[in-house]
């Protein structure tokens, strides 16, 4: 692709794997509420905002809760999740993620984070890369969550790049939809059935082939 100026990287599932912590925190909440929840159901929450995740988790039980109770449950889950984030260190990059960051910078490309998470800064600090990026777009930057393109458009704008000059790397189905909706090049990380609609797809972050994408 000619003219690529910047990469926008998703955080959870591309740079580090916090999905397990999200699962354990949601599972604890579900158990407390007596709502069935397992790892398979957790797959639906990949890349999905906190509120939408809770709605999906509660399913048919959603109607029995008031708005106040919903907000309390989101808060409770986030407390459990943030407790687990304390164990993250610079050793918790997904394989190939740290090398990808350095390779992008070495090629003179701008690099941003485009994540749905409101815990983005905490995770980046724990990984030791809070100062690495040219822009950070997270759950506080925009109101419309993925699959809306807003979180990526915000990142592109903050870097002074046009959408068509940006490559988005995503592990979530909704994230790939968001990148395509924003008019960006989409790189999917994960299985065909999840991210096969991206322009490029690799099984893991370590498999991403920059020569192929930038050719």
Binding residues vs ligand B16 (CB under 6 A): 10-13, 22, 45-50, 53, 78, 115-119, 139, 172
Please say which residue, 13 or 188, places its beta carbon nearer to Mg ion: 13
**Least distance in angstroms from the C-beta of 8 to ligand B16:** 11
**Distance between CA atoms of 78 and 61, rounded to whole angstroms?**
20
Nearer CB in complex with ligand B16: 94/104: 94
> If you ran DSSP here, which 8-state letter would residue 164 be given?
G
Q: Which does 118 bind (CB under 5 to 8 A by kind): Mg ion, ligand B16, none?
A: ligand B16
Question: Is 10 part of the annotated catalytic residue set?
Answer: yes
- Residue 129 Cβ vs Mg ion, minimum distance, rounded to whole Å: 16
In the complex with ligand B16, which residue's Cβ is closer, 137 or 165?
137
Q: How many residues bind Mg ion (CB under 5 A)?
A: 6
Q: Quickly tell me which residue has 């701008």 as its tokens.
A: 110
Shortest Å, Cβ 189 to Mg ion = 9
SS3 state at 187: strand
Tokens 């999740």 found at: 81
8 A C-beta contact, residue 150 and residue 144 = yes
Query: What residues from 148 to 187 belong to the interface with Mg ion (CB under 5 A)?
Result: 171-172
DSSP letters, 21-86, are: HHHHHHHHHHHHHT----HHHHHTTTT--HHHHHHHHHGGGGGGS-HHHHHHHHHHHHHHHHHHHT
Nearer to ligand B16, 10 or 150 (CB): 10
Active-site annotation, residues: 10, 12
């Amino acid at each position: 692709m000619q003219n690529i100026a910047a990469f926008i990287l998703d955080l959870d599932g591309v740079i580090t794997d916090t999905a397990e912590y999200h699962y354990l925190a949601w599972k604890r909440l579900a158990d407390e509420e007596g709502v069935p929840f397992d790892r398979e159901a957790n797959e639906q929450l990949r890349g999905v905002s906190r509120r939408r995740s809770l709605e999906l988790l509660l399913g048919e039980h959603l109607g029995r809760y008031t708005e106040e109770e919903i907000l309390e449950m989101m808060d409770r889950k986030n407390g459990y999740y943030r407790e687990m984030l304390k164990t993250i260190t610079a050793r918790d990059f997904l394989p190939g993620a740290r090398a990808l960051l350095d390779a992008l910078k070495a090629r003179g490309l701008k690099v941003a984070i485009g994540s749905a998470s409101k815990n983005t800064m905490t995770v980046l600090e724990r990984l030791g890369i809070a100062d690495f990026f040219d822009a950070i777009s997270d759950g506080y930057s925009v109101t419309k969550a993925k699959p809306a393109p807003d979180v990526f458009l915000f990142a592109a704008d903050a870097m002074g790049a046009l959408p068509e000059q940006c490559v988005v790397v995503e592990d979530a189905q909704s994230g790939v939809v968001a990148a395509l909706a924003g008019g960006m090049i989409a790189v999917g990380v994960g299985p065909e059935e999840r991210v096969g609609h991206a322009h490029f797809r690799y099984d893991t972050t370590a498999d991403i082939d920059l020569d192929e994408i930038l050719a």
